[in-house]
Amino acid sequence: MAIAIGMLIGLVLGLTGAGGSVLAVPLLTLCLHLPLQDATGIALGAVAASAVSGVLARFRDGQTLWIPALILAAGGMALAPFGQWLALGLPEAWLASGFAVLAAIISVRMWRQAVQQPDTTHVIRAGTASPVHGGAMLCPFSPNGQFQLRPRCIAGLGSGGLAVGVLSGLFGVGGGFLIVPLLSMLSAVPYVTAVATSLVVISAVSSAGFASYLLMGHGVPTYLLAQVAVGGVIGMAVGFVVGQHIAGETLQKIFSVSVIVLSALMLMQHLS
């Protein structure tokens, strides 16, 4: 069961615009009966392993904006431990309620994206595609492919990274659901570049969140974590192979509904 959950984490991370942890946390609590804080820690570790494998697989494709990724990652890594600290002081029912609200926001965004921008749902994290340049906004993205960093752009990226870090530490989410639209709002960066860049940030922030989870004295069932992490890497590899054939708006709608249902079941479990 743990390997299957891990494979689903990696597959979702590879095929959708949101991190697999938003689906992994309720699955780990419902199927493996883990406490919510343990589920978030294991989910972060598994997502980090899956995301790293995805980054390595597409390292040379030229899609990643490394400097923006580092700015986002720095902010996220700085506040992921703070999110973990907040989680320690909250009752599980409150955490479950907050997670359910966050999951609902993610699901609505993904559903709207599938309806309003169906072409973007065919872009997968594990795959490759050619960049398309153009436009200029708060963070200009020039025709020659250079991301032009200016003070307001850096401030926007840094603020986004801080928000991702808090949410990652608090709820065990990777943050892709926030990173991708943030990059799209700040610049005319192509969607495929945004998802490639977000994968780097997810790797760093999830790793920092998992490390802070360990440093705060949580015991981790190593064998269980290994199973989920191995499954996640396999799922990402599967996404690399089959993603071009199955990624799309229908898949994204199914995922958004699944997140709502699982989060609601998890919330009911903690409130009962």
Please give the structure tokens belonging to residue 175. 């943050």
Range in 36-40, 145-149, 243-247, 251-255 the model is least confident about? 243-247
Q: Is the predicted pLDDT of residue 67 greater than 90, yes or no?
A: no
Contacts of 60 (CB under 8 A, 6+ apart): none
pLDDT given for residue 244 in this prediction: 58
What are the tokens at 88?
A: 């320690």
C-alpha 64/C-alpha 72 separation (Å) is: 13
What is the CB-side half-sphere exposure of residue 50 using CA atoms within 13 A? 40
Q: Does the structure show a pLDDT above 70 at 3?
A: yes
Asked if pLDDT for residue 265 goes beyond 70, the answer is yes
Whether residue 182 is predicted with pLDDT greater than 70 in this model: the reply is yes
Tokens of 149: 């960093």
**What is the residue type of 108?**
V
Q: Model confidence at 77, in pLDDT bands (50, 70, 90)?
A: very high
State what percent of residues in the chain have pLDDT above 90: 4
Neighbours of 18 (CB within 10 A): 28
Q: What is the DSSP string of 196-218?
A: HHHHHHHHHHHHHHHHHHHHTT-
Distance of alpha carbon 80 from the chain centroid: 14
Asked if 141 contacts 135 with a C-beta cutoff of 8 angstroms, the reply is yes
Q: Which residue type, as a one-letter code, is found at position 104?
A: A
